[in-house]
Chain A
Amino acid sequence: MSDRIEVLKTYKTYVGGKFPRSESGHTYPVKDSSGNKIANACRCTRKDVRDAMVVARSAFSGWSSRSAYNRGQILYRIAEMLEGRKEQFQKELELAGLKKKVAAREIEQSVDRLIYYAGWTDKISQVFGTVNPVASAHFNFSMPDPTGVVGIIAPDNNHLLGLVSVIAPVIAGGNTCIVLASESNPLPAITFGEVLNDSDVPGGVVNILSGIQSEMISHLSSHMDVNGVWNAANNSDNRKQIDENGALNIKRIIHTPVVDWADEKHENPYLITNFQETKTTWHPVGN
């Protein structure tokens, strides 16, 4: 038995509810904290970004028109499935160098964070919607509406918690997203894709690509069909490029180079409203 060669998992991408390989066929080695190779992950290119964009766009109308209550149920379901996969994530986070207790804490917090945002889905428009006083014979009200397709540059720290903290508010608000997983450790992100796939999330709502972030960021941030970018990684060159490209079609751009995603300030409804547009309706009323 001792001669047995261990079967290493092949990490693919998660796009449109499926697990395809990169269109390029390229991979790159992922190393653990002490520099040993632990797996290969797909090295996605601009074409993978383009293909993910198509599915994210076509998933948008279905996801955004679901009832907020239903979106909340689905987010809750993700939390349930994540809870059931604790052991796998525990192993992956320990490989990345986390201490046992820290890893366990990170997984628990990720589950809690999903549940936190699951609760917000049907409260966002109650809390942030307004009825506006106007001088004419109109009933005038404003409601938050999802921005559309959001590109997410996942953080390089807190591999699971950071990822959950950026995906949950975006999809809770009815957006769909394309996530560029952490470059140094994409494994929890891809495994999280498996969780999503098991938990009633319609294909295409969350799409996770792995690879060299700087190779994909220019195409993601310049794509005219992307409506917003949430950059949670800390890289000043990428940040400049995102700002410049975002100006092409005036994307909503948020930079959060966060050091510690465990902080409770990342449970915050304003992170949902970051990717919401205000729609104001003038409804005629009789005098």
Chain B
Amino acid sequence: MSTVSIPDFNQTIPIDSVGVEERVARLNKRSIKTESKLQGLKLALSMIDHTTLEGSDSEGKVIQLCKKARLPYAPMPDLPTVAAVCVYPNMVATAKKALEGTDVNVASVATAFPSGMAQLHIKLDDTRYAVAEGADEIDMVISRGEFLKGNYSFIFDEIAAVKEACGNAHLKVILESGELETYENVRKASDIAMYAGADFIKTSTGKIQPAATQPVTLVMLEAIRDFYRETGIKVGMKPAGGIRKAKEALQYLVLVKETLGADWLNKDLFRFGASSLTNDLLMQIIKQETGIYQSNIYFSND
């Protein structure tokens, strides 16, 4: 980082919102069929952060979720596993144990998810606790209130401090784009997160509407591209919340390919935060392979 100068975050990078939305609409028209569709669906499956973030989560539910992560669909054992299981910090140990011996990571939300309304030392303790329990990846939320006040250095310092607390764990920074109001703010928050040391930037918690949208994702992907050109560092992207259909997942993959290139088309640099997407992908994969439309009553919920 020493050779990279940190830009002035008070400068706003203008975003052409009409252009962004039109580009997304145009890329959505791309038709992906037969063999490429099947490969795309399998790739998307391997990129999922299989998520449960409910107040009602229990050990049993997390263990069930992990079983599905290891073996998404028993009749087709050759399918890829999902990339990670994403849970609350107090469920990390349970998930870690249930995923022993696989290369499925455990991701944990931390820093007073989903609001982020807590003191810094509490957020850092939350993070350290999750890492000590065995989390491989930490999903943190930024303080949107401070961001909207224009207190950018607060956000920067907070992310840098959490990054330090993460140690070897990967850090994903949740911008919660639904609360940032404008594309310019999304872009700015992305830049702050990346310069502060984020390994991934993530759209949303899934608790606020709108959650992930494709235009917001495109703005963030362009921020990643510019950051890569500036620094040579590849930062990952994770749209999360509201992605339920396999078709949308393929559209996201097209956005990534067209903005960042094929280097980003793997689970180390791109993830989907989702819970119900897994079943739709499985149903579409089986449809591709057998020609028979599937029903979700034959697929487990977790």
Contact = CB atoms under 8 A, between A and B. Distances in A.
Interface of A: 50, 53, 219, 222-225, 248-249
A248 B298 CA distance: 12
Max chain B C-beta neighbours (<10 A), residue from A219, A225, A248:
A225
Given A222-B291, A224-B298, A225-B296, 11 more contacts: A50-B293, A53-B293, A223-B292, A223-B293, A223-B295, A224-B292, A224-B295, A225-B297, A248-B292, A249-B295, A249-B298
22 contacts: A50-B293, A53-B293, A219-B293, A222-B291, A222-B292, A222-B293, A223-B292, A223-B293, A223-B295, A224-B292, A224-B293, A224-B294, A224-B295, A224-B298, A225-B293, A225-B294, A225-B295, A225-B296, A225-B297, A248-B292, A249-B295, A249-B298
Contacts of A222: 291-293
Across the A-B interface, the 4 shortest Cβ-Cβ residue pairs: A225-B295, A224-B295, A223-B293, A222-B292
Contacts of A249: 295, 298
B5 to A, nearest CB: 52
Q: What's the interface size class on B, roughly?
A: under 10
Contacts of A248: 292
Interface in B260-302: 291-298
Interface in B55-75: none
Contacts of B297: 225
B117 to A, nearest CB: 37
A106 to B, nearest CB: 35
A231 to B, nearest CB: 19
A184 B298 CA distance: 36
Contacts of A53: 293
Contacts of A225: 293-297
A53 B295 CA distance: 10
A45 to B, nearest CB: 13
Nearest to A149: B295
A117 to B, nearest CB: 28
A126 to B, nearest CB: 29
A249 B293 CA distance: 12
Max chain A C-beta neighbours (<10 A), residue from B291, B294, B295, B296:
B295
Nearest to B290: A222
Contacts of B294: 224-225
A248 B295 CA distance: 12
Nearest to B298: A224
Nearest to A218: B291
Contacts of B293: 50, 53, 219, 222-225
A225 B296 CA distance: 8
B31 to A, nearest CB: 13
A224 B296 CA distance: 9
A53 B294 CA distance: 11
Contacts of B298: 224, 249
Nearest to A46: B293
Contacts of A219: 293
A249 B290 CA distance: 14
A248 B287 CA distance: 14
Nearest to A223: B293
Nearest to A222: B292
A16 B291 CA distance: 24
A224 B297 CA distance: 9
A219 B292 CA distance: 7
Interface in B101-116: none
Contacts of B296: 225
A199 to B, nearest CB: 30
Max chain B C-beta neighbours (<10 A), residue from A50, A224, A225:
A224
Nearest to B283: A224
A240 B126 CA distance: 62
A225 B294 CA distance: 6
A225 B295 CA distance: 5
A50 B295 CA distance: 11
A251 to B, nearest CB: 11
A53 B283 CA distance: 14
Contacts of A223: 292-293, 295
A226 to B, nearest CB: 8
A281 B292 CA distance: 34
Contacts of B295: 223-225, 249
A218 to B, nearest CB: 9
A145 to B, nearest CB: 15
Nearest to A248: B292
A225 B292 CA distance: 10
Nearest to A53: B293
A225 B298 CA distance: 9
Max chain A C-beta neighbours (<10 A), residue from B291, B292, B293:
B293
Contacts of B291: 222
A248 B290 CA distance: 12
A271 B298 CA distance: 28
A86 B291 CA distance: 43
Contacts of A50: 293
B172 to A, nearest CB: 33
A262 B153 CA distance: 81
A150 B59 CA distance: 39
A223 B296 CA distance: 11
B37 to A, nearest CB: 14
B248 to A, nearest CB: 15
B297 to A, nearest CB: 7
